[in-house]
Structure 1
Amino acid sequence: MNKSLIVLSAALLGLAGCGQKPADETTAPVASAPATAPAPAATAPAETGVTRAETAPAAPTKPALDTQPGPKGTQVALTKALVRGDILTVELQYSLNPGIDNTPTLYEKIDQINYIDDATSKKYGVLKDQEGSYMATPLYSNTKELRIELSQNSPSIATVKFPAPPATSQTISLTIPEVGSFDGVAVQR
């Protein structure tokens, strides 16, 4: 019987060691994680103290070179005065002031939009293409006005193209009807 007991003990010891790999020099010791009970399934989101707004993100806006109050509770930001070749491109962002409930549509007469070269005091109007249409967007169907539709959620962009001032001119003064003048605007080249 002693012989059977020794054989049985050896077999049990062998089985107990079957699930373990011997450690060697290439295997790093693994720290065992403490046993934890599985978390109960959540039935409602955890209270974190953070409130999430379900509104659409505002459209990115460019930094303004200058800003003027506009008509009907608007703010007009001049965001670009850039010369490429012989053309000066001016970009304007129209946005509603906080607290304005209506969303007006503005019409700007293009023949009244101009700039003055501050170095020479020469006045420039908006360029026209080969067909006689003003080089500006967004054009109203009569092609003589900008049509700017305002929204509470994002600014409206208007772009106007002019003949470029001479390379020696560093600043301009832009005039927009019902907005006023953007004076001493640095021209980017």
Structure 2
Amino acid sequence: MLKPFFVASAFALSLAACSQEKTAETTTTSAPTETAPAPPAPAPGVERSEATAPPAAPAPAPAPAALSTQAGPSGTQVSLTKARVVGDILNVELQFALPPGTTNGAYTHAEVDQINYIDDATSRKYNVLKDQQGQYMALPLNSNGKILDITAHKDAPAIVTLKFPAPPTTTSTVSISIPGASSFDAIPVQR
């Protein structure tokens, strides 16, 4: 007679244990997360010290160092900031900036088919790549997709990006030609 009693007791205990586990699961998953408390306000008449001041926003990243700078069209200064091979593509980045003290912006344009680089090791000329739709891989392009529209402001340079076929791995420098700017000669290729 005690056997059915023990079986029923064991069943009741296991049911109670499952119920408590279920309750613990639901209470732990539905509990709100706590946020860090705000720092206490300084007492009246007491100035907040630098040690208790909230952290300042990080400073903006400095502009990339120019590999070379040349005089450009419309009074701009053209800085070549990147010539890096990634995979089979040579990525070139230029910044068209206004000289200090300039009060107005400057607008210029460049025909993409006139932009190229020469492999200094082989004297071979490379033009800007085109994608599968026949569009130049360059920015900022105008609506016809054949001309770079470049607008430099007094407080912000215009950024131009160009993609070319990569030179052979034996090439260490290239010379880049941009219409209206002096040639960028012997630019080291980063890999």
Q: Mark yes or no: TM-score above 0.5.
A: yes
1:72 aligned counterpart, secondary structure: helix
Distance 1:58 1:149, change over 3 A: farther
Structure 1 Cα separation of the partners of residues 141 and 60 of structure 2: 25
- Matched position secondary structure for 1:111: helix
* d(CA) in 1 for partners of 2:45, 2:137: 65
Partner of 1:87: 89
Q: How far apart, CA to CA, are the structure 2 residues paired with 1:60 and 1:142?
A: 34
Contact 1:150 1:156 in 2 (8 A): yes
State whether structure 2 residue 116 is matched by structure 1 residue 138: no
**Which residue identity lines up with residue 174 of structure 2 in the other structure?**
I
Q: Whose radius of gyration is greater, 1 or 2?
A: 1
Distance in structure 2 (CA, Å) of the matches to 1:109 and 1:103: 20
Q: Which runs of 4+ in 1 moved over 6 A?
A: none
Q: Write the letter of the residue equivalent to 1:88.
A: L
Following superposition, the deviation at residue 161 of structure 1 comes to 0.2
Report % sequence identity.
Answer: 58
Distance 2:170 2:76 in 1: 34
Q: Which residue of structure 1 aligns with residue 164 of structure 2?
A: 162
- The equivalent position to 2:98 in structure 1, one of 96, 99, 103, is 96
Measured in 2, the distance between the counterparts of 1:99 and 1:59 equals: 23
Gaps of 5+ in 1: 1-37, 41-56
Conservation of the 8 A alpha-carbon contact between 2:98 and 2:106: no
Within 1, Cα distance between the matches of 2:45 and 2:159?
52
- Quick one: distance in 2 between partners of 1:59 and 1:144? 32
Q: Is the 8 A contact 1:73 1:100 kept in 2?
A: no
The equivalent position to 1:115 in structure 2, one of 110, 114, 117, is: 117
| Structure 1 residue 102, shift from structure 2 partner | 2.2
Check whether the contact 1:58–1:153 (CA below 8 A) recurs between aligned residues. no
Structure 1 residue 59, shift from structure 2 partner: 7.8
Within 1, Cα distance between the matches of 2:75 and 2:63? 19
Deviation at 1:58, TM superposition (A): 8.6
Which residue pairs with 1:178 in the alignment?
A: 180
Q: Is the contact between residue 126 and residue 163 of structure 1 (CA under 8 Å) also seen in structure 2?
A: yes
Cα distance in structure 2, aligned partners of 1:136 and 1:119: 25
Say which structure is richer in helix. 2
- Cα distance in 2 for partners of 1:106, 1:62 equals 22
Number of aligned positions between the proteins: 137
Partner of 2:17: none
User: What one-letter code is carried by the residue in structure 1 that aligns with 2:158?
Assistant: S
Give, in whole Å, the separation in 2 of the partners of 1:77 and 1:58.
20
Contact 2:111 2:147 in 1 (8 A): yes
Distance 1:102 1:59, change over 3 A: farther
1:1-189 equivalence runs, <5 A? 60-189=62-191
Cα shift at 1:150? 1.1
- RMSD value, Cα: 2.0
